[in-house]
Amino acid sequence: MSQLSFSSFDSMLLVRDAQGRYLPTSVDQILSVARQAIDQNTSGTLFTTPELAKDYLRTKLVGFEHEVFAALFLDSQHRLLEYVELFRGTIDQASVYPREVVKEALRVNAAVVIFSHNHPSGNPEPSQGDKVLTQRLKEALALMEVRTLDYIIVGGEATVSFAEQGLL
């Protein structure tokens, strides 16, 4: 049985343009449409296990060539209030500002948050900087009575959950 790669999808999938013509699609178009579909169907989704959050975040953050720092803002029952991509960086770092994260958590009235960012390199192992940032965010949000449930790093198809690793 042959395996399909992203590059083989380019010649297989077609999209219809405004004039009704079918044209080959790109990987970026496929991922963009997939992200939009996920956004439309996830409000109120329960995140009861790290695996559910990892699957969701893998789908949202895979394929970026730059780092994206995002948050799942949840209510007290762990239902999704909003997914927000808060900061965009370069190929190997993104600047994250705790003040802005706290403002966003308060804006959506979140009780719980799951943080995430991608590693375009494909290696999901957390850096020392990731660990320090997580602690700073956790402390800042705790002052506002918002609990940090997890921090998930996405590296290609692989993920690392800080909660599962005992890092929270």
Q: 41: part of which helix (H) or strand (E)?
A: none
* Cα 164 from Cα 7, distance rounded (Å): 33
Q: Give pLDDT, residue 92.
A: 87
More confident residue, 29 or 1: 29
Architecture of the structural domain at 44-165: 3-Layer(aba) Sandwich (3.40)
Q: Per-residue pLDDT tens for 118-149?
A: 999 999 999 999 999 999 999 999 999 999 99
Q: What's the mean pLDDT in 91-113?
A: 95
Q: Give pLDDT, residue 37.
A: 57
Total-model pTM = 0.75
Q: Give pLDDT, residue 1.
A: 38
Domains of the chain, by residue range, sit at: 1-41, 44-165
pLDDT at 55 over 70: yes
* Cα 27 from Cα 91, distance rounded (Å): 19
